[in-house]
Structure 1
Amino acid sequence: MTRAETAYHGELGDYFAALATNNASNAHTDRPAMLKLAGDVGGMRALDVGCGAGHYAAELRNRGAAKVIGVEGSETLLRAARERLGKGVELHHHDLEEPLTFLKDASFDLAVMALVYHHIEARKQLLAELRRVLRPGGALLVSTTHPAAEWTWFGGSYFANERVEAPLDGGFTIHYRRMTLEKFLGELLGAGFVLEQLVEPRAMEEAREIDPRRYEKTHTVPYFLAVRLRRP
């Protein structure tokens, strides 16, 4: 089996770094929902898993997190993150298909994994690592594409468990794992986390001017899914 590529490199990384800054999907749908799930992060040690160009890390720092560490498999995106964050956030270039051996046990209060989970193949290993590095009572936030949206976009069986490719504007293509709601939640709960909250994010009002079609779509059909879990 060919090893899954989970990061956005080169021109794709540059494209995504620019896109995620102020687009309807990332900036005005997923990010507000995840930050609301995070709540008050003042004084917390936070881990941004698949930190991309540093948008979430910047928000966590600006909202008062005492320490923010980002992990990302793309050097292209890390370069953008360094430009955005300066020296105030510790960043690691690391393939998320590999264990997080450089992080200590029970060293974080919060872990954020935004629109990353469906790209990973070694998900069981990654969840075990996140459980290890979170302190008891710590929170894990995960967002993904909505399983019902995948069924709408790709057709076929809702229960298909397959890697798919999706075209982006600009001629780019991304690859990720299509999964059911049962599988998504089952893996998270099976890893020992407790579900505290589940939301189906809709675009904020700011998205209406940026991309009215996408704004309306997120208010009409399932688009993203976001959960807050607790490490017992």
Structure 2
Amino acid sequence: MKAETAYHGAMGQLFAAQATNSAYNAHTDRPAMLGLAGDVAGLSVLDLGCGAGHYAADLLARGAARVVGVDGSESLLCAARERIGDGADLHHHDLEEPLTFLADQSFDLVVMALVYHHLDAREQLLAEIRRVLRPGGALLVSTTHPTGDWTYFGGSYFADERAELPFGDGFVLSYWRMTLEQFLGELLSAGFVLERLLEPRAAEEAREIDPRRYDKTHNRPSFLAVRLRRP
């Protein structure tokens, strides 16, 4: 049975609302990814798993010339349209399937924030990303931190299995546990060159919003973010 990657219906609506100002999404992962992006003025950017459009909105505000967002959830894309309007070109598409609607070497930057670990068809998607990126273009990927998952779920650090994490009222997030070796190995084997690696901690704004999660990110690793280059 094929994995369900997207957050549909009420689950997507809840995620869209929480991601707006949450300690984890808004004040840990997003600042790290935007920092890795650097100067995006004039760039053509692909946002894979664009969700409710938070990253796309920030990239446009920072001067990106073109942003294309792709997500498998219509409820999240609805939230993205409300946030961005006509500022980005948004596509409803399952990331487990090839990106056949995107042209070769048509992007300078690809952003994949907290979606990679949900996917089964990662090798296929990385090949598609390499195809649509221009030579010298950058790929940004964030994921749950391997040691953070190990601490939370227990068992073997080297477990290669899907984990289920409670979310909201009765929802469950399903994603792959991966070692650091596997995560980086897949990206490097796909032909990308590692440029930077971050273990993000929550920004100061999160201290007032959610002090427990702020402290957690400053005491144990929760996320991992990398910038890679397509040779």
What TM-score, normalized to structure 2? 0.99
Distance in 1 between residues matched to 2:179 and 2:86, nearest whole Å: 40
- Report deviation, 1:171: 2.5
Corresponding letter in the other structure for 1:42 = A
- Report deviation, 1:169: 2.9
The corresponding residue for 1:43 is 42
- Report deviation, 1:172: 1.6
State whether residues 67 and 89 of structure 2, in contact with CA within 8 Å, keep that contact through their aligned partners in structure 1: yes
- 1:148 paired to 2:183: no
Distance in 1 between residues matched to 2:121 and 2:91, nearest whole Å: 19
Q: What secondary structure is seen at the aligned counterpart in 1 of 2:96?
A: coil
- 1:224 paired to 2:223: yes
The corresponding residue for 1:96 is 95
- Report deviation, 1:121: 0.3
Distance in 1 between residues matched to 2:38 and 2:86, nearest whole Å: 25
Structure 1 moving runs of 4+ over 6 Å: none
- Report deviation, 1:41: 0.1
Matched-pair identity in %: 75
The corresponding residue for 2:200 is 201
The corresponding residue for 2:83 is 84
- Report deviation, 1:113: 0.1
Corresponding letter in the other structure for 1:192 = G
Q: What secondary structure is seen at the aligned counterpart in 2 of 1:6?
A: coil
- Report deviation, 1:69: 0.3
Q: What secondary structure is seen at the aligned counterpart in 2 of 1:219?
A: helix
Q: What secondary structure is seen at the aligned counterpart in 2 of 1:160?
A: coil
- 1:118 paired to 2:117: yes
Distance in 1 between residues matched to 2:22 and 2:168, nearest whole Å: 13
The corresponding residue for 1:62 is 61
State whether residues 196 and 228 of structure 2, in contact with CA within 8 Å, keep that contact through their aligned partners in structure 1: yes
The corresponding residue for 1:28 is 27
Corresponding letter in the other structure for 1:83 = E
- Report deviation, 1:170: 2.4
- Report deviation, 1:109: 0.2
State whether residues 14 and 168 of structure 2, in contact with CA within 8 Å, keep that contact through their aligned partners in structure 1: no
Corresponding letter in the other structure for 2:51 = G
The corresponding residue for 1:159 is 158
Distance in 2 between residues matched to 1:126 and 1:8, nearest whole Å: 19
- Report deviation, 1:32: 0.1
- Report deviation, 1:88: 1.4
How many residues are matched?
231
Corresponding letter in the other structure for 1:147 = P
- Report deviation, 1:164: 1.0
Distance in 2 between residues matched to 1:87 and 1:49, nearest whole Å: 18
Distance in 2 between residues matched to 1:202 and 1:180, nearest whole Å: 20
Output one character per residue of 1:11-46: Cα deviation in whole Å (capped at 9) or x when no partner.
Answer: 100000000000100000000000000000000000
Identify unmatched segments of 5+ residues in structure 1.
none
Output one character per residue of 1:178-201: Cα deviation in whole Å (capped at 9) or x when no partner.
Answer: 110000000000000000000000
